[in-house]
Structure 1
Amino acid sequence: MLILYRIYQVLVMCPIILVATIITAVLTVIGSALGFGRWWGYYPEIIWSRLFCWLAFVRVTVSGRENIDPAVSYVFVANHQGAYDIFTIYGYLGHNFRWMMKQSLRKIPFVGWACQWAHQIFVDNSSPSATRKTMQKAEKVLSGGMSLVVFPEGARTWNGEMRQFKKGAYRLAVEFNLPVVPLTIDGAFAVLPRFKKLPVPGHIHLTIHKPIFPSADGHDLGRLMEESRSAIASAL
């Protein structure tokens, strides 16, 4: 059965995904260039992400949507099990957002161009002035219900266990006084871990936890990190 599945992926799934990726990227660039980036930078990507799941026979279930308000801006923090984390969040979170991502992703053909036009936030920590520019861009993006999604581990896990969290997302939450919403992704490691090239069918469960609010004095970076990590771990 696995051999037949791999043949299907090579002959059917991969060509469809390639064409869909190019079309989605082109639509995003054109729509954003015309001044409608808020819409075109999110909704076509929902279909694109779900297509990745449908074609790979990956089922996604979501719990906890009642914990978030579409009109509120959040900093979503999620564990990073594999490549299908992106499709799970994009396709099934149900809240308009932008990614905080590595500069290297800007170089990916079509995808990188679309991300740039859609005003995804590319992290640049090469100098203090570059970091300030990243923060300023984030401040412009995080308004009117627009949220931010970050993988605080910084990279996909090698063994399915959560890596150490980095502080960047939490600094943004404290700086702009935004609630942190932990997201647990469970099952994506089995579908496509970082050391494999093609997915297998599976079931991914996305859990949206209750928001965690920064304190008024803004001196609780450690608490936000600890509470969000504990919440994510509780649903694994």
Structure 2
Amino acid sequence: MTATVRAGEAGPRIGAFFGFDGTLVRGRTTPGVRRDRTGNDDIGALRGRTMHAVTEAGEQQFVQRISGTMRPESRDLVRCHLSMGHTVVVASSATRAQIAPVARDLGVPHVVCTELEEEDGVLTGRSTTGVRCGTRKAEAVRAFARDHDVDLGRSYAYAGGPEDVAFLGSVGRPYALNPHPALRRAAGEFGWPELTLREPRSPNLRACLGTIGGLIGVNAGLATGFACGWLTGDHRLGVNVGVGLSADLGLALTGVTLNVTGEENLARARPAVFVANHQSTLDVLVLAALLRHDFTAVAKQEARLDPRMLVIEAVLDPVFIDRSDLNRAKASLDGAVRRLRDGVSILILPEGTRMPTPTLGRFKKGAFHIALQAQVPIVPIVLRNTGELAWRRSLFVNPGTVDVAVLDPSPTTGWAAEDLDSHIAEVRQRIADTLENWPGR
């Protein structure tokens, strides 16, 4: 489908209209909307709340639940239309508060949705636009097209609900996406193509058993490393053996393999500061398998409270940064610089926390300050799909292949502190560009 879009027309007069529930995300995420006794649209669950509270709840729901239901191939399809310069729109009966976080994450600039009515800053439980479902949704899309000079006859639409027949019939290139049986029948009658996209993965018995086996493998590898260090009297050798072996066993037993591009860059410049994007608990295991030896990590002080950090702390002796106290934070950074000068590389995840989707977060400065002070290169590592195998809130790892791209080192010689922001932006952009256009894709 993306090949078809790329081979077609470009430019903003071509629209790409995406449904929300069942299209961009799996299943239904929005509360039901009904008609009250007077025939008005009723969104009673929101009555009496402020718009600010509803918007905050939408952001929280996105992070905690909806982000894990977003279809990876829907993301690819949206990205493809954006790259062609099409006018991309999310069209749904859902409210703006529910749709906005997903649209922002996907980079979609336009939303056609059910708008809420306010009185004195408080929601009435009614809509100012009418609930944009069925024929109302189709009418709203046609109105949007008139206002934005979009040619619907040359435009695309994607939806999967039984109420989306009128919506899909509004454009010249409709696609029934993972359709409800009623929509599938209608698509057959009208001759509309059907797309079946893969769903976000849910843990099954294989994932549960594999995760347990992976934990056993990690501990067995670390125990072997401790034994090696004790027998040889070489603590660093023991750590290196333990880290590499535990990562290999953990990945093998969970059924995760690595597809690495640019592997030679892992050894081109060491010691170095390695930075990576962060979406999953699986990231740590993948990065350990890549770096393997003579490295430690830098983490925020609050991470010490995470039980998963106990093993990492015991093995790697990471540097913890206390961001609440400037003096202690500087002392910690100085400690990381000393490690680099002793030949030990540093791994830092500059987003500071796991992101709910593959979209990059803002980069913090710590990694770049450390590299500048130690005058060592920064090596970006790009992880493409760890979040698909182990979502950020999941306790289990699904088997599969993780795509990794290790980019060329960025030298820090000649950097000045006053230019640090531009260097951070440059490295972040390199990672973003790699996620957008994967090597060899």
Give runs of aligned pairs for residues 117-136 of structure 1, distance below 5 A: 118-136=316-334
Q: Counterpart of 1:7?
A: 205
Q: Counterpart of 2:290?
A: 92
Amino acid at match of 1:122: F
Q: Counterpart of 1:214?
A: 412
* Counterparts of 2:306 and 2:233, CA distance in 1: 23
Range with bigger deviation, 54-63 or 12-21: 12-21
Report if the CA contact (8 A) 2:256-2:399 is conserved. yes
Amino acid at match of 2:346: L
* Counterparts of 1:205 and 1:39, CA distance in 2: 29
Q: Counterpart of 1:223?
A: 422
Range with bigger deviation, 140-149 or 82-91: 140-149
Give unmatched runs, 5+ long, in structure 1: none
- Does the alignment pair 1:38 with 2:232? no
Q: What is the SS of the residue equivalent to 1:163? A: coil
Q: Counterpart of 1:47?
A: 245
- Does the alignment pair 1:232 with 2:405? no
Range with bigger deviation, 186-195 or 88-97: 88-97
Post-superposition offset of 1:88: 1.2
Range with bigger deviation, 216-225 or 109-118: 109-118
Post-superposition offset of 1:111: 5.2
Give runs of aligned pairs for residues 67-106 of structure 1, distance below 5 A: 67-69=265-267, 72-93=270-291, 96-106=294-304
Which of 1, 13, 19 is equivalent to 2:216?
A: 19
* Counterparts of 1:66 and 1:16, CA distance in 2: 30
Post-superposition offset of 1:153: 0.4
* Counterparts of 1:108 and 1:134, CA distance in 2: 19
Report if the CA contact (8 A) 2:358-2:384 is conserved. no
Post-superposition offset of 1:217: 5.2
Change (3 A) 1:146 1:185: same
Give unmatched runs, 5+ long, in structure 2: 1-202, 436-441
Which of 361, 364, 371 is equivalent to 1:173?
A: 371
Instruction: Give the TM-score of the pair, scaled to structure 2.
Output: 0.47
Post-superposition offset of 1:19: 3.3
* Counterparts of 2:406 and 2:212, CA distance in 1: 33
Give runs of aligned pairs for residues 162-201 of structure 1, distance below 5 A: 162-201=360-399
Change (3 A) 1:160 1:113: closer
Change (3 A) 1:52 1:20: closer
Which of 338, 357, 368 is equivalent to 1:140?
A: 338
* Counterparts of 1:182 and 1:189, CA distance in 2: 18
Describe the superposition over 1:132-174 as per-residue Cα deviations: whole angstroms up to 9, x where unpaired: 3212321221135421111100111112211111111111111
Describe the superposition over 1:69-112 as per-residue Cα deviations: whole angstroms up to 9, x where unpaired: 46621111111121111111111245531111233443556852
Q: What is the SS of the residue equivalent to 2:359? A: coil
Amino acid at match of 2:350: P
Report if the CA contact (8 A) 2:271-2:376 is conserved. yes
Q: What is the SS of the residue equivalent to 1:85? A: helix
* Counterparts of 2:287 and 2:345, CA distance in 1: 12
Give runs of aligned pairs for residues 61-72 of structure 1, distance below 5 A: 61-69=259-267, 72=270
C-alpha RMSD of the superposition = 2.8
Report if the CA contact (8 A) 1:29-1:118 is conserved. no
Describe the superposition over 1:7-34 as per-residue Cα deviations: whole angstroms up to 9, x where unpaired: 3444x434433433444455566738x8
Change (3 A) 1:8 1:190: closer
Q: What is the SS of the residue equivalent to 2:351? A: coil
Range with bigger deviation, 14-23 or 98-107: 14-23
Larger Rg: 2
The number of aligned residues is 231
Instruction: Give the TM-score of the pair, scaled to structure 1.
Output: 0.83
